[in-house]
Structure 1
Amino acid sequence: MKWKSLYLLALVCGLLTQGCGKKEATTQTEAKPRTVWSVDKAKAWYKDKGFIIGPNFSPSTAINQLEMWQAESFDTATINRELGWAEDLGMNTARVYLHDLLYQQDSAGFLQRVDTFLDIAQRHNIKPILVIFDSVWDPNPKLGKQREPRPHVHNSGWVQSPGSVGLQDSTQHPRLERYVKGVIRRFANDDRILAWDIWNEPDNINQGSAYGKQELPNKLDYVLPLLKKSFVWARAANPVQPVTSAVWKGNWSVEDSLTAIEKVMLDESDIITFHNYDSAQYLEQRINWLKRYGKPMICTEYMARPNGSTFQSSLPVAKKHNVGMVNWGFVDGKTQTIYPWDSWDKNYTGEPKVWFHDILRKDGTPYSQAEVDLIRSMTGVKEKAVAAQ
């Protein structure tokens, strides 16, 4: 009987060991980042989306991402009203920027506010594209009350994420990893979100603005490894939504013309995104350049009227090629993007005759009735006056 007892003990231990081994294997599998989407998977995701169209959005009462999301300035009334205006135009997405400092400050509170925002967007049939990092404008973000806008200056208070301090300090990478994984994992299976934009213009060094002189001299040396890690972190959260990052400058016509950062952006993206602030000719050229990837495309920034990038010129080209379109700006507000980029150097004393970005005034009336009529014709909604709600 003794040998039987020893045999049974050994058998039980063996089964327990196997069970433990399987559990460890499952944990390792769950932690492994998912692969970049194949062309077929990306096309399957896109096929029932219709014409993706909307603005880059922050409420008119916020000067930047921090003011939009911080508890004391999270303005749900304005968000609801303005997304309602977007719905009236037939828009179905909005590109919205997050910030790593918000997660560091109060991750639970921040995620709850994101959840509230998604509820509001869903009521208006809008599925946002959420932006994780951003390399544009002020490299020194600070939590707390944000400064007032500089009069008549384009995006005078917009901030980068991570800022220069977080970017150059590799010991902060674990904090940034927690942010990326924490946000995406929370909403990884959430049908209210259209896509994740991992990093806005990561290789932008802000030449031509007052912030250019404040940039790290070797900024891109810090960006490249963190960009690679950020894609891995995002896919480790296993989102059902695509992850992407938009190329925005230069020549993408052939693989050899791409920079190291652009190669990462395109190779690691589930769908292809890009920016175009030039005429319809250049928009179509860039679409044709990127067709070699065989994946669905969304232009996540366009529309700078004085540059020839307008709704009238761009939307017909996008429809022709089945490319989604997300213009910069929606309601004229504290970002002041009705003023052009050169307002950093040129003195403006009042509203420009031709708005640079944005569609509506603060009361919801359009800058151009012809523009909103065109947008409605593209989205197929009935014409009606946009009025304050």
Structure 2
Amino acid sequence: MMRGQLGHFSPAVLLVLSCFLGSAFSIDTSAWVGAEYQPARSSNQDWLYHWDGYKEEVAREIPMIKQALSFTAFRVFLHSAIYFASPERLMSTMDEFLEICQRSGIRVGFVFFDDCWSHEGLDLQKPCQPTKGLHNHCWMASPQDAERLNGVDHFKPYVQEVVRRFQGDSRVLWWEIFNEPHVTDPYPQGNFSEALRAAAFGWAKALSEKPVISCWNEADDTARGTNTSNAYTELNDAHQYAQPWNGISNAVFKNDTGKMKGGLVTEAGARWYQGTNSDAGSPLTLIDWLKKLRKNPAAKFVPGVMIDWEVMVSNSNTRWHWGGQAQDQEPAIPWHQHLFPDGSPVSYTEAAAIRRYITGKDEFLYFNDFLNDVPNPGSAERFLRLDAPFRPELTLKDGLVEMALWPDTAATVRLKLRHSAEDSYEIALDADKKTLSLSRGGKVRASFNVSSLDCGLLSGGMKELKGAWNLLRALVDGNRVQVWLNPMYPDVFPETLPVPSGPRVPIRAMPPRIDFEDPEPLKEGGLEVTAEGGGFLDYFSVLPPVLYGSDWPGRGVLYS
């Protein structure tokens, strides 16, 4: 029953208590919560080579990440070519980067090798330019195929000198040998990758006091027909882009070698992307799973998680799905990523739920993700069909209201704020006319042409996948009502989009679609959501009237 008793504490408290309680699972990763980090302007790992051009942006972004998400950990990909170009330069960059992270209370796990995406084409003198719509178009496998011709032992100095340099450094959480090695592919990827990960694990483990992860899903090696037989990993590493999370049957607990001391989901889910047939393990389903594990006495441990791949909405283009095509429209809601370059969250609801999980502080005035309206031990996706008015039990004066909605074809979704029998502010989203409007007393006070958006408004039958989730957010603060619909990456750049090889460009706080000041504002009232023509809600929340977002360079924090 001890696990159930500890379930009320934050990961930070659990980390301290675990030192006294002792456990067969002696590496407590439960407080390791974050995502992969690279600066928003970068397109791949080469930002570490061009550090002088990114350092100022990194120093700006990381405190914003801490403020909005409370992350405690980053997963950061190194690259062998950057090391061999200048070993000391890379390690100096890592040291400066770790110092910036430490100031915000964030520690780092570093990845040495990766078989994903492009196995040739890395040019450190010419940063890759992303193509709109193409997911991870610029990501470079490490090592590149040309480097592999040097043989496995060529990479021993890279691994050992980096580990030796940061041996005992409390700013480093773990070393990860190989991300998704193509262990069943032919040379130079497959056999070479398997040999390299086995050798590199030994090189790192001989020097490191830190946990060393061999690779993702190593516990499945036998099933994949490889000969390593999950002999290496002490921290069982899992990747999951699906739901449900399946409680204690999740892959992160799947390791029968007797060596497992804990677990880490280094790629933990993604949102339901437009045009796909299901949720891919969205942040709210993930947090629901973790909260249930904390209360489950049968859980061997609570794993650390790197949520929804990447922190920043960036030039990596992972806001698009793996199957994205060149010049695809901006997504209504990014598939991956948490924070726009101005510092505003993709979803304030997700961000607050993550903060609550990490810190234990609940900022919600109201929250419903509909995941537990019926028994849901596996933390599968659930949503609310808007067959009747949805009325949260809250009297709203000032607050930030947010919901993810899927309107049926030609539906009109209405959100009423400070609602009473006499009057209300009404936000109407008309899927047929493609309009967003704000009314009071039956009179339209402001409107926006939704068809002007690159993503437009995604509506249609869920069963036929003709629509998708849209994000609607409203800030009611005194006499001011602001409305956002499907905020997008380009919205924060008033002049031009940034490119990896180009100069820094101005950033503005995420602008609303509607901004209305009422000379005689309503005082307070209820909330109501209806959908004429049908629709679904994925979540609904109300938070204090606080916006995260800043102009850069310029006035600094625009909203607070």
TM over 0.5: yes
Q: Percent identity?
A: 24
Asked whether the 8 Å contact 1:95–1:326 carries over to 2, the reply is yes
Structure 1 residue identity aligned to 2:313: D
Asked whether the 8 Å contact 1:136–1:204 carries over to 2, the reply is no
Q: Kindly indicate whether residue 242 of structure 2 is the aligned counterpart of residue 278 of structure 1.
A: yes
Q: Secondary structure at the match of 1:133?
A: strand
Structure 2: how far apart are the matches of 1:352 and 1:242?
A: 37
Q: Secondary structure at the match of 2:99?
A: helix
Change (3 A) 1:204 1:115: same
Structure 1: how far apart are the matches of 2:313 and 2:183?
A: 24
Structure 2: how far apart are the matches of 1:169 and 1:289?
A: 35
Structure 2: how far apart are the matches of 1:99 and 1:323?
A: 26
Asked whether the 8 Å contact 1:139–1:163 carries over to 2, the reply is yes
Structure 1: how far apart are the matches of 2:119 and 2:100?
A: 30
In structure 2, the residue matched to 1:131 is 111
Alignment of 1:229-248 (within 5 A): 229-236=199-206, 238-248=207-217
Structure 2: how far apart are the matches of 1:323 and 1:235?
A: 21
Structure 1: how far apart are the matches of 2:315 and 2:227?
A: 32
Structure 1: how far apart are the matches of 2:85 and 2:252?
A: 40
In structure 1, the residue matched to 2:518 is none
Q: Kindly indicate whether residue 48 of structure 2 is the aligned counterpart of residue 69 of structure 1.
A: yes
Asked whether the 8 Å contact 1:277–1:303 carries over to 2, the reply is yes
Structure 2: how far apart are the matches of 1:270 and 1:276?
A: 19
For residues 179-232 of structure 1, give each alpha carbon's deviation from its aligned partner in whole angstroms, at most 9, with x where no partner exists.
Answer: 111111100111110000111111278xxxxxxxxx966621211111111111
Q: Secondary structure at the match of 1:101?
A: helix
Structure 1 residue identity aligned to 2:142: S
Q: Kindly indicate whether residue 146 of structure 2 is the aligned counterpart of residue 165 of structure 1.
A: yes
Alignment of 1:91-130 (within 5 A): 91-130=71-110
Cα shift at 1:233: 1.1
Asked whether the 8 Å contact 2:310–2:337 carries over to 1, the reply is yes
348, 367, 371: which is aligned to 2:350?
371
34, 42, 52: which is aligned to 1:54?
34
Structure 1 residue identity aligned to 2:357: M
Structure 2 residue identity aligned to 1:312: L
In structure 1, the residue matched to 2:63 is 84
For residues 234-271 of structure 1, give each alpha carbon's deviation from its aligned partner in whole angstroms, at most 9, with x where no partner exists.
Answer: 123x211110033249x93xx752432663xx321231
148, 152, 157: which is aligned to 2:129?
148
Bigger fraction of residues in strand: 2
In structure 2, the residue matched to 1:310 is 282
For residues 130-180 of structure 1, give each alpha carbon's deviation from its aligned partner in whole angstroms, at most 9, with x where no partner exists.
Answer: 01111111101232121211122111101011111122442xx34311111
In structure 1, the residue matched to 2:177 is 198
Bigger fraction of residues in helix: 1
Q: Secondary structure at the match of 2:119?
A: coil
In structure 1, the residue matched to 2:456 is none
For residues 321-377 of structure 1, give each alpha carbon's deviation from its aligned partner in whole angstroms, at most 9, with x where no partner exists.
Answer: 41111020111111011100001xx35432112321001112111111111111111
Asked whether the 8 Å contact 2:43–2:139 carries over to 1, the reply is yes
In structure 2, the residue matched to 1:335 is 316
TM score, norm. by length of structure 1: 0.77
Structure 2: how far apart are the matches of 1:169 and 1:290?
A: 34
Q: Which moved more, 1:289-298 or 1:145-154?
A: 289-298
Q: Secondary structure at the match of 2:34?
A: strand
Structure 2 residue identity aligned to 1:377: R
Asked whether the 8 Å contact 1:189–1:240 carries over to 2, the reply is yes
Q: Secondary structure at the match of 2:193?
A: helix
Structure 2 residue identity aligned to 1:308: A
In structure 2, the residue matched to 1:43 is 25
Structure 1: how far apart are the matches of 2:26 and 2:78?
A: 28
Q: Kindly indicate whether residue 368 of structure 2 is the aligned counterpart of residue 387 of structure 1.
A: no
Change (3 A) 1:106 1:366: same
Asked whether the 8 Å contact 1:318–1:325 carries over to 2, the reply is no
Asked whether the 8 Å contact 2:72–2:105 carries over to 1, the reply is yes
Q: Across the two proteins, how many residue pairs are aligned to each other?
A: 328
Change (3 A) 1:168 1:335: same
Q: Kindly indicate whether residue 234 of structure 2 is the aligned counterpart of residue 267 of structure 1.
A: no
Q: Please, what is the CA RMSD of the aligned residues? A: 2.5
In structure 2, the residue matched to 1:296 is 262
| Structure 2 portions without partners, runs of 5+ | 1-21, 273-278, 294-298, 364-545, 551-555
Cα shift at 1:313: 0.7
Q: Secondary structure at the match of 1:342?
A: coil
Structure 2 residue identity aligned to 1:239: S
Q: Secondary structure at the match of 1:129?
A: strand
Cα shift at 1:42: 7.7
Structure 1 residue identity aligned to 2:201: F
Structure 2: how far apart are the matches of 1:78 and 1:126?
A: 16
Structure 2 residue identity aligned to 1:83: I
Change (3 A) 1:262 1:367: farther
Cα shift at 1:314: 1.1
For residues 75-129 of structure 1, give each alpha carbon's deviation from its aligned partner in whole angstroms, at most 9, with x where no partner exists.
Answer: 1222122221222222100000111111111111111010000101111111101
Change (3 A) 1:155 1:282: farther
Structure 2: how far apart are the matches of 1:78 and 1:84?
A: 11
Q: Secondary structure at the match of 1:130?
A: strand
Asked whether the 8 Å contact 1:276–1:282 carries over to 2, the reply is no
Change (3 A) 1:259 1:151: same
Larger RCO (CA within 8 A; separation ≥ 6): 1
Structure 1 residue identity aligned to 2:245: Q
Asked whether the 8 Å contact 2:26–2:262 carries over to 1, the reply is no
